[in-house]
Amino acid sequence: MNKALRILIADEQHFHRMKVERLFNQLGYYRVAPVQNLEELLTLVDYGCEPFDVVVINASLAVGSLDLRGFFLDNPQVCHALIFNDQHAQSTPMQAYAEQTIQVSAKARPDLTCIQCLMSSVDPALIPPHDLTGRYRTPAEHTEATARRNCHF
């Protein structure tokens, strides 16, 4: 697990930011910066000296002012993004764009499963070497699990 990953959470609700941050903490990630509005996010992304590995943002922060998908696809300062509470997203699985660098969810707030799915595409070391039954995977099975990018809930 790469504990040095830089994570940015953007949501106007303090309680929601804290809940999402705690989900990352449960997985062992503690380098998390929470922001409450789009302006703060843009400042940190634009003027940061190193890229953010993960940005998790409530889509409602950018309604009418910024195309989040386009912004994250074209921005070298953001490696992976999860856009949640997106009313244009399909309501079943998370949609993935550009080799999984952007995931979009209609969920009002990401849960632990959603964050685990996101982080499995960011940090392959997060995927355990065993399956849900406790049986250890063969190297080929582990590689396949690591490479699997579509998470369905």
List, for residues 15-74, the tens digit of each pLDDT value: 999 999 999 999 999 999 999 999 999 999 999 889 999 999 999 999 999 999 999 998
Total domain count, the chain: 1
The answer to whether residue 41 sits within a structural domain is yes
CATH number of the domain within which 52 lies: 3.40.50.2300
The answer to whether residue 149 sits within a structural domain is no
The answer to whether residue 73 sits within a structural domain is yes
From CA 91, how far away is CA 94, in angstroms rounded?
Answer: 8
Q: What is the per-residue pLDDT for 114?
A: 92
The domain containing residue 119 runs over which residues?
7-126
The answer to whether residue 144 sits within a structural domain is no
Of the two residues 66 and 100, the one the predictor is more confident about is: 66
The answer to whether residue 150 sits within a structural domain is no
Evaluate if residue 116 carries a pLDDT over 80: yes
The answer to whether residue 43 sits within a structural domain is yes
Task: Report the percentage of the chain scoring pLDDT > 70.
Answer: 75
> What pTM does this model have?
0.79
The answer to whether residue 14 sits within a structural domain is yes
Instruction: List 103's β-bridge partners, or say none.
Output: 82, 96
From CA 125, how far away is CA 29, in angstroms rounded?
Answer: 12
Token pair of 107 as six digits: 């969920």
Q: What is the per-residue pLDDT for 121?
A: 86
Report helix, strand or coil for 92: coil
The answer to whether residue 59 sits within a structural domain is yes
